[in-house]
Amino acid sequence: MIRRILLPVAAALAGLAAGILLVSTFAPPAPDSLQKPTAPPTLGLQETEFRDERSMGLTADVDRTAAIALNTSGMVTASSCVSGGTLESGGVIAHIDAAPIVALASTTPLFRDLAPGDEGTDVEALRQALRGLGFDVDAEGTYSAAVRDAVRQVQRLAGIAPADGSLRLASVAWLPARSVAVSSCEVTVGERYELGSPVAEVPGTLRSLTLVTGEATVVVPGDRTIRLGAQEFAMPESGAIVDRAVLDVVAASPEYQANAAKTKDSPLSVSARLVTPLRVVAVPPGALVGGAADMRCVQLEGGATAPVRIVASRLGSSFVTFDGDIPKRIRIGASVTAKACA
């Protein structure tokens, strides 16, 4: 009896469930006016430091090949010249008739014997050479006691006799830089050397270094710190280095000398970064609209546009700066509806 009663009830309940499922499956969607609005995709912005760290190339302006000569004649009894090697200021370049000849680097070549009390451009050149060797002598003035003492020390280290502090031209050879790469040696031990003839050929003096730029290279304005091997030095915003002290350091570096030895001219590779970092914001490239060159716009969350300046593009992001306050959020992706800067 109970079984006959329960069977119709179960069947009714099953039918009701099927009806609910059918209605749920095929029910029409709610009208647009009743749909919950969806916020456009946006990106929160955050300012960060940008040092524009990158590898760069420097082109070298070098004058013509120079010849290194001695101020005496005689038999070459020893030589420090090696093709592909270097000649250093303060080092002994050769022995003529067993007498050592020391190399000295200065802007102006030495051209006469010098003694305490002398003055002139060659005395200034001698002071420059001594300061380059680390001696504490004034940059200007006469052939002073300090200059005499420094010359005496150079003579003692080189084995020049007498080591009396007076400079004899026959005992020195002029170098155009503190360290020069040797292209070729012109005399060998055992040969007769004649005064004024070449002992070695060296590349010309480095006169300037210029940052390599082009249409495809966006260079952020500002002074930079340049690293070459273990050395760091300043690169002015002009992109050209003409400071003689810096050029001498660069010319003496193994990196520069290896680059100079290449048969084909190529820029000197260095790493660089801005001395004073910029404050920038990273945005997806697709968020930028309108504009030309490095001037573009972004669309704000409310729909208006704001101008930005692109300073660099790295790893899928564009680094930009705003003229005024940085907005909290901007539109990205399909939510960017602006086609041009308003």
- pLDDT tens, 140-150? 899 999 999 99
Q: Would you mind telling me the total number of residues written for the chain in this entry?
A: 342
**What separation in angstroms does the CA of 328 have from each of 55, 250, 310, 311?**
33, 46, 18, 20
Domain co-membership, 235 together with 116: no
Task: Tell me which residue of 143, 155, 48, 39 sits closest to 92, measured CA to CA.
Answer: 155
Token look-up 């010249």 returns: 81
- How would residue 262 be classed by pLDDT, with cut points 50, 70 and 90? confident
Say what the pLDDT of residue 215 is. 46
Token look-up 């190529």 returns: 266
Token look-up 């990196």 returns: 255
Q: 202, 230, 263 — which closes off a domain?
A: 202
Is 182 a domain residue? yes
Is 222 a domain residue? yes
Q: Which of 17-21, 186-190, 194-198 shows the lowest mean pLDDT across its residues?
A: 17-21
Domain co-membership, 70 together with 181: yes
| % the chain with pLDDT above 90 | 51
Domain co-membership, 212 together with 118: no
**Which sign does the torsion angle of CA 261, 262, 264, 270 carry?**
negative
- How high does pLDDT run on average in the chain? 85
Domain co-membership, 121 together with 174: yes
Domain co-membership, 186 together with 264: no
Instruction: Tell me how far apart the alpha carbons of residues 158 and 154 are, in angstroms, rounded to a whole number.
Output: 6
Q: What is the mean pLDDT of residues 265-283?
A: 90
Domain co-membership, 100 together with 178: yes
Q: 243, 259, 274 — which closes off a domain?
A: 274
Domain co-membership, 157 together with 283: no
Say what the pLDDT of residue 39 is. 58
Please say if the pLDDT value at position 138 is more than 50: yes
Is 31 a domain residue? no
Is 5 a domain residue? no
Q: What is the mean pLDDT of residues 170-177?
A: 92
Task: Count Cβ atoms below 10 Å from residue 44 Cβ, excluding itself.
Answer: 9
Domain co-membership, 141 together with 198: yes
Eight-class DSSP state of 156? H
Q: 202, 229, 258 — which closes off a domain?
A: 202
Count of H-run helices and E-run strands, the chain: 5, 24
Which burial class, exposed, middle or buried, applies to 206 when counting CB atoms under 10 A from its CB (0-12, 13-18, 19+)? buried
Domain co-membership, 134 together with 257: no
Instruction: Tell me how far apart the alpha carbons of residues 242 and 206 are, in angstroms, rounded to a whole number.
Output: 9
Is 7 a domain residue? no
Instruction: Tell me how far apart the alpha carbons of residues 94 and 171 are, in angstroms, rounded to a whole number.
Output: 10
Domain co-membership, 73 together with 186: yes
Query: Per the structure, how many domains does the chain have?
Result: 3
Domain co-membership, 129 together with 222: no
Is 21 a domain residue? no
Please say if the pLDDT value at position 251 is more than 50: yes
Strand partners, 200: 68, 185
Domain co-membership, 289 together with 257: no
Is 6 a domain residue? no
Please say if the pLDDT value at position 165 is more than 50: yes
Is 223 a domain residue? yes
Q: What is the mean pLDDT of residues 181-191?
A: 92
Please say if the pLDDT value at position 301 is more than 50: yes
Residues 6+ apart with CB under 8 A from 319: 50, 280, 281, 282, 310, 311, 312, 313
The domain in which residue 239 lies consists of: 54-62+205-274
Evaluate whether 275 touches 224 at the Cβ level (below 8 Å). Answer: yes
Say what the pLDDT of residue 314 is. 78
- The angle, 0 to 180 degrees and rounded to 10, between the axes of the packed helices 121-132 and 145-158 is 60
Task: Tell me which residue of 149, 122, 134 sits closest to 90, measured CA to CA.
Answer: 134
Say what the pLDDT of residue 206 is. 85
